[in-house]
Structure 1
Amino acid sequence: MLLKTFGWSFAVTAAGLALAGVLWGWKGLAIVGILSILEISLSFDNAVINAGVLRKMNAFWQKIFLTVGILIAVFGMRLVFPVIIVAITAKMGPLEAVDLAINNKDKYEHLVTAAHPAIAAFGGMFLLMIFLDFIFEERDIKWLGWLERPLAKLGKLETLSIVVALLVLLVTAMTFATDVAHGGGDKTATVLLAGVAGLLTYLIVGGISGYFEDKLEEEEEEVEEAEEAERAEKAASGAQKGSQGATVVGLAGKAAFFLFLYLEVIDASFSFDGVIGAFAITNDIFEMALGLGIGAMYIRSLTVYLVRKGTLDDYVYLEHGAHYAIGALAAILLITIKYEIHEVITGLIGIVLIGASYWSSVVRNRREEAAGGEDAESKAEVTSGV
């Protein structure tokens, strides 16, 4: 199971480190290794969130996530995205931006860093919406009940998460964006525009994927009810069954496709801090793409592993911890519009929150096992007494 899931990650790591050693020597090999660890530590909570979405997909779309998805993650977000950002913000052509990234690395780093307020606002708002929609939703299982119960009651107010997110964006733009650390000057308009774009992206992609997911569930329920009626009455034809089955497959494909897009936007939002933080280690885009790409591969393999092992079902608070980590990351991204926050702090916050939720899940499982054992003993005593 472990080798099957992480086999490609191990192979990519070996090939990537070997390539780094050949191209850049021991120094390049060390840089790529450090960047890989950085990406894994920053995005561990991403794997838990992705697993919660990916387990709704079939095996085919899980493979798409590991193949096409990793290409988008490595070449799209870690290599192409920073170049596009430079091209847009510096108002130059894509080829000119590529030439700048290769031949004038210092200026390229400066331009990417200067674009950080817009990147942080977009990613911060997208992640904040994920956190708010989670925390305002009524759930049977609660981790921090003292906090989640009242917030779930407040969540009955429609569009509350949007209102809160817009208020956070407005406060951020009027405080952190007035004199930013990256690029200097007043970036209020930039932060507002990028933040609204992040919010709209979440609403559009998440809304479409949620729509098809709901439609799929409705169709599956209708098919199950029809099959039960058929078994009871023995009156349905094989042709009708086939047409119903085809409908479900078609809707599943649409739902899975938009969930896949949703996953890619989540990954993009998580990768922003990694890409920006990587400049503290190197400004070579190829070293950066290789190191962060190896880390991204492990995050994807970990996502699939969590799905196949049913870890989220066994450790029920993990998803809570990951969403709290998302909320923390969203806040950190918005704060970094003006203030520097070291990547180690970002990574540690996520690890601590997920670790705490994991331990709480273990304690809960032990408590339930103990309670189950006591119930079994009491029943045995009653039976023997009779």
Structure 2
Amino acid sequence: MLLKTFGWSFAVTAAGLALAGVLWGWQGLAVVAILSVLEISLSFDNAVINAGILRKMNPFWQKMFLTLGILIAVFGMRLVFPVVIVAITAKLGPIEAVKVAVQDHDRYEQLVTSAHPAIAAFGGMFLLMIFLDFVFEDRDIKWLAWLEKPLARLGKLDTLSIVVSLVALLIAATTVATSVPVHGGSGTVDKTATVLLAGVGGLVTYLIVGGISGFFEDRLEDEEEDGEENEENGAALPQKSGASVVGLAGKAAFFMFLYLEVIDASFSFDGVIGAFAITNDIFAMALGLGIGAMYIRSLTVFLVRKGTLDDYVYLEHGAHYAIGALAVILLITIKYEINEVVTGLIGVVLIGLAFFSSVLRNRRESGTGNGSETKAEVATGV
């Protein structure tokens, strides 16, 4: 099971480190290895979130996530995306942007870092919406009941997550974005308009991609419920003007796949920016972060196949709280620098606490022999 799931990750790691050693020697090999660990630590919560979505998809789309998805993650987000950002922000042509990335590493670093406020605002708003929609939803299983119960009551207001996100964006735009330090120089620059535009873009992207995937998912669930009712009544499921369960599932899975890729993109922003603290070589960066992305993909599939999220029910809660923390950190880093170690540790600690709470819950339930919560669980929310 382990080798089957992580086999490609092990193979890519061996090939990637060998290539790094040939191209850049022992120093390059060390840089690529460090970047791989950085990506895994920063995106561990991403694997848990992805697993919660991926388990709803059929084996075909799970394979697409590991094949086409990894190509998008490695070559798209870690190699092509930073160059596109450079081309847009510096108003360069595609060929010139590629030349800067390959030949002028210092200027490439400066241009990508200068685009960080827009990247952080876009990714921060997208991740914040994921977090808010999670905590504002009334769930049967609650981790921090003292916090999640009142938030679920507030969540009955349908647009509350959008309102809270827009308020957070306005606060960020009128505080940290008004005086962003100039990279590699002295003084500050006002990025208010840039942050507002990028933040609204992240919000709109979430509403479009998440809304469409949610729509088709609800349609699919309704179709399955109708089918179960008809089977119980001994009747055949009526077909609707060319729409079938297979076709509907395909649409739902397709938009969920897009949703997964946007989530991965939002998580990759801080990794790409943080990688410049280690190297400004675009190829070493893509190689190291790509190896890390492979492990996140494999870990996602491992969690799905092992049913880990069903066994440890608070893991999704911990991952979503980590997402909320990352969203806030991204908005803060518009002006202030926060070490990537801090960002990674916050996610690991929250997921670790959620895992420990899940273990305690499972022990309590196995001890009582039923699924009812004990007084201690009610009091602590565990």
Q: 2:273 aligns with which of 271, 276, 284?
A: 276
Map Cα deviations across residues 50-94 of structure 1 (whole Å, 9 max, x no partner). 000000001000000000000000000000000000000000111
Alignment of 1:81-230 (within 5 A): 81-181=81-181, 183=183, 184-230=188-234
Alignment of 1:213-292 (within 5 A): 213-230=217-234, 236=236, 247-292=244-289
Shift of 1:216: 0.6
Query: What's the counterpart of residue 381 of structure 1?
Result: none
Cα RMSD between the aligned structures? Answer: 1.7
Map Cα deviations across residues 275-326 of structure 1 (whole Å, 9 max, x no partner). 0000000000000000000000000000000000000000000000000000
Verify the 8 A CA contact 1:206 1:262 in the aligned structure 2.
Answer: yes
Q: 1:348 aligns with which of 320, 325, 345?
A: 345
Verify the 8 A CA contact 1:177 1:188 in the aligned structure 2.
Answer: yes
Verify the 8 A CA contact 1:181 1:337 in the aligned structure 2.
Answer: no
Residue identity opposite 1:360 in structure 2:
S
Residue identity opposite 2:155 in structure 1:
G
- How many angstroms apart in 2 are the aligned matches of 1:143 and 1:330? 20
Shift of 1:228: 2.3
Give the gaps of 5 or more residues in structure 1: 376-386
Which entry has the higher C-alpha Rg, 1 or 2?
1
Map Cα deviations across residues 114-148 of structure 1 (whole Å, 9 max, x no partner). 00000000000000000000010000110001100
TM-score by length of 1: 0.93
Is structure 2 residue 6 aligned with structure 1 residue 2?
no
SS of residue paired to 1:40: helix
Shift of 1:220: 1.1
Which one has a larger percent helix, Structure 1 or Structure 2? 1
Verify the 8 A CA contact 1:325 1:354 in the aligned structure 2.
Answer: yes
SS of residue paired to 2:189: coil
- How many angstroms apart in 2 are the aligned matches of 1:182 and 1:356? 38
CA gap of 1:85–1:365, structure 2 versus 1, over 3 A, is same
Verify the 8 A CA contact 1:115 1:182 in the aligned structure 2.
Answer: no
Residue identity opposite 1:326 in structure 2:
I
Verify the 8 A CA contact 1:223 1:244 in the aligned structure 2.
Answer: no
- How many angstroms apart in 2 are the aligned matches of 1:245 and 1:92? 47
SS of residue paired to 1:92: coil
Paired residues in the alignment total: 368
- How many angstroms apart in 2 are the aligned matches of 1:111 and 1:174? 23
CA gap of 1:243–1:175, structure 2 versus 1, over 3 A, is closer
- How many angstroms apart in 1 are the aligned matches of 2:242 and 2:315? 34
- How many angstroms apart in 1 are the aligned matches of 2:109 and 2:245? 48
Is structure 2 residue 289 aligned with structure 1 residue 302?
no
SS of residue paired to 1:352: helix
Residue identity opposite 2:330 in structure 1:
L
CA gap of 1:130–1:317, structure 2 versus 1, over 3 A, is same
- How many angstroms apart in 2 are the aligned matches of 1:328 and 1:211? 28
Q: 1:368 aligns with which of 339, 358, 365?
A: 365
- How many angstroms apart in 2 are the aligned matches of 1:300 and 1:242? 37
SS of residue paired to 2:34: helix
SS of residue paired to 2:50: helix
- How many angstroms apart in 2 are the aligned matches of 1:56 and 1:180? 42
Shift of 1:110: 0.1
- How many angstroms apart in 2 are the aligned matches of 1:181 and 1:331? 19
Query: What's the counterpart of residue 75 of structure 2?
Result: 75
Verify the 8 A CA contact 1:178 1:186 in the aligned structure 2.
Answer: yes
- How many angstroms apart in 2 are the aligned matches of 1:372 and 1:6? 35
Residue identity opposite 1:44 in structure 2:
F
Map Cα deviations across residues 149-184 of structure 1 (whole Å, 9 max, x no partner). 111000001200000000000000000000013543
Map Cα deviations across residues 252-275 of structure 1 (whole Å, 9 max, x no partner). 000000000000000000000000
Query: What's the counterpart of residue 63 of structure 2?
Result: 63
- How many angstroms apart in 1 are the aligned matches of 2:243 and 2:347? 42
Percent identical residues: 80
Shift of 1:227: 2.2
- How many angstroms apart in 2 are the aligned matches of 1:192 and 1:244? 43
Query: What's the counterpart of residue 323 of structure 1?
Result: 320
- How many angstroms apart in 1 are the aligned matches of 2:135 and 2:356? 20
SS of residue paired to 1:4: helix
CA gap of 1:195–1:246, structure 2 versus 1, over 3 A, is closer
Residue identity opposite 2:198 in structure 1:
A
Map Cα deviations across residues 169-220 of structure 1 (whole Å, 9 max, x no partner). 0000000000013543000000000000000000000000000000011111
Verify the 8 A CA contact 1:50 1:303 in the aligned structure 2.
Answer: yes
Shift of 1:363: 0.3
- How many angstroms apart in 2 are the aligned matches of 1:182 and 1:323? 32
TM-score by length of 2: 0.94
